[in-house]
Amino acid sequence: MKNVIKSSAVFTLAAATLLAPISSLHAQTASAAAADLAAGKTLFNANCASCHLASGAGGVHFGSAVSADLQAPDLQQTYRGDDKLIVRAILQAKDQDDAPLDQPMPAWAGKISPTQAAQIVAYLHTLHS
């Protein structure tokens, strides 16, 4: 019986030792994701909300152009669920088919980094219609 208890304790200690890095990695990943969302929200509010509204609903008229609704799930459907296409839209002002977006949507390349554009996209996923 002592050997069973001893083996069980060794197994529990070994499992805890092996799982601790995974738990730590999960906490780091969750923390990084939260930081990306916070950065994305800050970037969105500073650079995008004036045209697309704080809600992301868009609908702001600029002559004949109207700012896009950036709320989920419509944005994901438009860009075929591909965040890389949304990042490209932000950085290069190109739509899902590589055509230019309506003006006055600027190409943000050189003003924000690809990482910052990805943070904005992460934040956009939290906006729902």
Query: Would you tell me which CATH number, out of the four given (1.10.760.10, 3.90.1150.10, 3.40.190.10, 3.50.50.60), belongs to the domain 34-124?
Result: 1.10.760.10
**Per-residue confidence band for 26, with pLDDT thresholds at 50, 70 and 90:** low
| Number of C-beta neighbours around residue 88 at 10 A | 20
- 43 or 2: which leads in pLDDT: 43
**Per-residue confidence band for 110, with pLDDT thresholds at 50, 70 and 90:** very high
Tokens 């697309």 belong to which residue?
52
pLDDT of residue 92: 98
CA 98 to chain centre: 21
| Percent of the chain scoring above 70 in pLDDT | 78
Structure tokens at 105: 């949507």
Nearest CA-CA partner of 50 in 39, 62, 63, 40: 62
Q: Cβ contacts of residue 33 below 8 Å, gap of 6+?
A: 122
pLDDT tens digits for range 75-106 = 889 999 999 999 999 999 999 999 999 989 99
Torsion, CA 41, CA 115, CA 52, CA 83, rounded to 10:
-110
**Per-residue confidence band for 72, with pLDDT thresholds at 50, 70 and 90:** confident
Inter-residue contact 100 to 93 (CB < 8 Å): yes
Tokens 């949304």 belong to which residue?
86
Residue range 25-39: mean pLDDT, rounded: 81
